Amino acid sequence: MNAGSACKETSVCIYLLVRIELIHAPGEETVEVPDRNLIAVLKPNDCCPFHDTGAALRQAADACAQFIGDSQRILVLVNDYTRPTPNAPILTALQPILSGRDFKALVCLGTHRPPTEPEFERIFGGKQGLSRAESDASAPRDCPSFSAGTVPAFWDRDRILCHDSKDKSRLFFLGKTSFGTDVWMNKQLLWADKVITINSIEPHYFAGYTGGRKGFLPGIAGYDTITRNHNMVTREGSTTFGLKGNPVHEDMTEAAKMLPRPVFSIQLSQDRHHNLLSIRFGDLFKSFDEAAADAHTVFAVPVKEKADIVLSVLGPPSNINFYQAQRAVEFARPVLKAPSVHITLSACYDGIGNDSFIQVFRGCSSPSDILQFAACNLQSGSPPASSPSDILNPNRLSTPDSRLPSSVLGWHKSARLAQIMQTSDLYTVMGIDDAVVKSVFMHPYKTAQGALDAAFAKLGRDARVYIIPDAGSVVPVLS
């Protein structure tokens, strides 16, 4: 500008907008983030197989044949529809070993609902076919496509059982852990001479990892056993990737060591496209430790700083329902500043799922009520209230339905969410009714861009952002 000019100079802030395409059921959406705000788009690690998986599968089958020996009654445990376990190649390899024996498969449902017909087909390796929405008239709309077709004839439906954690007539007592958990498990363990368990290993937000001992607790455990175990989630050490000093994991391990029958374990790790990367087999605990190390290499994504805003997109099977969607914020939790905003995008194509955590929030005026409830219960050691609003009720000790938090399964999710909400606001873009989302103190939005804009309005124009387009396959780890 010329020195003699009467005009005033003004500073102009010029920045670029980064356009990011997010793929999430039922469609796609493009969001814009100023480049000066975007720290990174966090993507899953690209990993090569840790070994020759074809050779490892043959070795596993040979070792399994030796393990079974002359035993006739074989129980095969498989994950349910909430895990992306590639059962088909494993079950195919086991078919010659099981042929001619009395064998059953038990679907490890924990407290989940029974599988739909297409989900049975997916679990047992049906051929690629119709999506669930196309093949099941009762299925919710906007379901993701997955493998479906006819369950292989070898797995006759009469051989397939589903665990029911609430049917006490099908459970037996094994003992009590050092954490005070009464261990009840499915009686099919007593029917079997030998047990084979097939699991995939992924990060788990309070057990450290899925798989291994989790196939038994919660997989085929009783409801009260699962609840007691899961309600240790607010204790120190209950974190994603955490094993040493994790009370939830250690309790599960103690329960698994009570098993009355020999177990042959097959633990799998996969990349984000569900391609096999490793097959670890043999001893339940050794194979789990080896597969967990593989999974850490796959899922742990190093980052150098925390963010004010994290936007996480869940894909199948993690986007099945509201109950499962919590993993998005839990995985992002280590890199959220205080204060911060986390945004979860999830189709929730099967609706809410287990709504017990929503019931726990009823009667609360804020998330802090949940934590006050927990503190009172854990300190008193007496049978406390069935809801936070009953804490000060003088008659609560004589009320017939007074219940410990350990008797309410949803408490563990509510308590974790309440902890996060002390420092982070939780925004959602989900296929869930706004009223339901608001009832658990979250903030619903119709679009990802709308949620991002609201987050910037709350935290300011300098807020720093991570985008995680495949949040079920990424756990950011501060380096």
Considering 278, 298, 318, which residue would you say is the last residue of a domain?
298
397 in any annotated domain:
yes
Are residue 73 and residue 119 in the same domain, yes or no?
Answer: yes
Are residue 188 and residue 292 in the same domain, yes or no?
Answer: yes
What's the CATH number where 23 sits?
Answer: 3.90.226.30
Residue 79 belongs to what H/E stretch?
strand 73-79
Q: CA–CA separation, 348 vs 322, rounded Å? A: 6
Are residue 179 and residue 325 in the same domain, yes or no?
Answer: no
Which residues of the chain are under the pLDDT cut of 70?
1-15, 24-26, 126-153, 373-409
Please give the pLDDT value at position 20: 86
Please give the pLDDT value at position 441: 96
257 in any annotated domain:
yes
What's the CATH number where 287 sits?
Answer: 3.40.50.11440
5 in any annotated domain:
no
Are residue 141 and residue 257 in the same domain, yes or no?
Answer: yes
Are residue 31 and residue 84 in the same domain, yes or no?
Answer: no
**Cβ neighbours around 129 below 10 Å, total:** 15
**Cβ neighbours around 318 below 10 Å, total:** 25
Nearest Cα to Cα of residue 321 among 288, 290, 344, 300: 344
Considering 298, 322, 337, which residue would you say is the last residue of a domain?
298
Please give the pLDDT value at position 108: 97
7 in any annotated domain:
no
Are residue 281 and residue 406 in the same domain, yes or no?
Answer: no
Please give the pLDDT value at position 392: 28
1 in any annotated domain:
no
Q: CB within 8 A of 7, min separation 6: which ones?
A: 1
Are residue 291 and residue 386 in the same domain, yes or no?
Answer: no
6 in any annotated domain:
no
Are residue 265 and residue 344 in the same domain, yes or no?
Answer: no
Peptide bond into 339 cis (omega under 30): yes
Angle between helices 247-256 and 223-230 (to 10 degrees): 150
* Separation of CA 28 from chain center: 23
Are residue 326 and residue 419 in the same domain, yes or no?
Answer: yes
Q: CA–CA separation, 331 vs 343, rounded Å? A: 12
Domain that includes residue 267, residue range = 53-298
Q: CA–CA separation, 477 vs 186, rounded Å? A: 37
Are residue 59 and residue 84 in the same domain, yes or no?
Answer: yes
* Separation of CA 115 from chain center: 17
Please give the pLDDT value at position 25: 57
Are residue 37 and residue 88 in the same domain, yes or no?
Answer: no
Considering 248, 283, 298, which residue would you say is the last residue of a domain?
298
Are residue 396 and residue 345 in the same domain, yes or no?
Answer: yes
Nearest Cα to Cα of residue 193 among 290, 255, 263: 263
Q: Domains in the chain: how many in total?
A: 2
Residue count of the chain: 479
Q: For the chain, give me the number of helices (H) and strands (E)?
A: 14, 20
Q: CA–CA separation, 378 vs 231, rounded Å? A: 11
Q: Which two tokens stand for residue 355?
A: 């709504």
Please give the pLDDT value at position 430: 94
11 in any annotated domain:
no
4 in any annotated domain:
no
